[in-house]
Structure 1
């Protein structure tokens, strides 16, 4: 056996060691993730009500019913508005905050902890706190707006204002995570880029626009796609904010996850709910593929520039 062949054999042995070590974890992950996904897709082709013994095969009827269902179309519309609303506000604000912290202000660690604290706080207590803030009669937000002559608003009763409230809450909660990611990316930018730009007269906003933002493009793509995925999975904050309104939660702002849970566990239309879950899975899958393609394009363009 030649030396080159021995080297290849040792490399394969190292790969087998990693596979055997990760095997149990991969098996558990597949059991908890992939099998439920396949099971959900299977159920979506049946009239599955959790009660009857017979579960007739209906083919694509559940998906056809989705396309003609006003609650589902409304849920898709509201979820999309919320997801992109979170994206539009969360990502730019996080970039600005990260840029300010990257300049090396005093008590930087305290500011980082202050911004990151809402992200690690569980959603339920956060939503309960915001429900008190957004209360139409005794809420803090209406109290502060009254100083500027703004009349009281029913933030949690009006469908449009309820969507705005959900976006405000979620942006406030996710800014810390996005800020940390951007801050890590800015730390990795070589200072020589800024020094070269300063020689050409690009300082302040110009260096941020022509140096920081272009070099942060891969991270911006990652953060944007992750924010969109989280936005499409929004549920807990809406469930808490809309509770005790019109007799049941979720009626003011209907989103995809709530519509799915209601159809599956309230009306026992598990096949129909599984079809909704598969639609959500496809949305997340498309966003993930877009992220991978954009990341690959950025990596390829970076290699061409180095050459």
Structure 2
């Protein structure tokens, strides 16, 4: 657009009021400045837009046509401003979150439940996939926030830890008893969940882990390698819920997250098999790109989970 937008704004005001004096007051500029701007616009367009008279001004045919467009344009801009103000006032906006199915169910949902109560007008879109895929989407600016297990490399990311999780191996007592009977045919040693080390149990058991694309799987396999732990039969399972359910029916020994099966451990439905050394705890938190523009809805969510974490720390104290 070659013509200065200010000239169109002045033209739109004069066309709407039909009077240079009223437009001058409306725009908070002098009458000569208004007249000069109208003349400049007419010179730029090489046509007459107003017919002047002692009673004011009226639009020419060309001026009337131009006014239809400027009025629509400035009305749209005004509506845009009002929408932005309303979004800010009501906390509206769009929040895109990436998270694995497991972290979504056990960690994210409680956050979202309280967040939605506080910001009911924010639209939330979920992308459920692995941590590595979440990091990829963050780098591509296709999501705003990711709930992830902290990876080794967080280059270009801000990470805020909200809790730690512990990976453990569990099974039922029935499975251990059956395994002990099976092994007793070849050895006099019986398998017990109170064994000093679960290495032997894992060597002869059906060991169930998440699929290879999962960060938890890689973390556990690295532990196996560092501690020279060999497994007999390895079964890949697609979700944490299935790992827990398969362990409950006695299909084998599952690697699960301890914080997600507190009730099963408390009732004895599942037994934790001690490892020496134990798997180190991992950090889980929200991450976002350092370089990405953060819309107001994203800022609301960041402030929300930070304040919630601070409140939880105070409660624990």
Q: Which structure's CA Rg is the greater one?
A: 2
Q: Structure 1 length as normaliser, TM-score?
A: 0.22
Q: Which has the higher contact order (CA 8 A, sep 6+)?
A: 1
Comparing both structures, which one devotes a greater share of its residues to helix?
Answer: 1
Comparing both structures, which one devotes a greater share of its residues to strand?
Answer: 2
Q: Structure 2 length as normaliser, TM-score?
A: 0.21
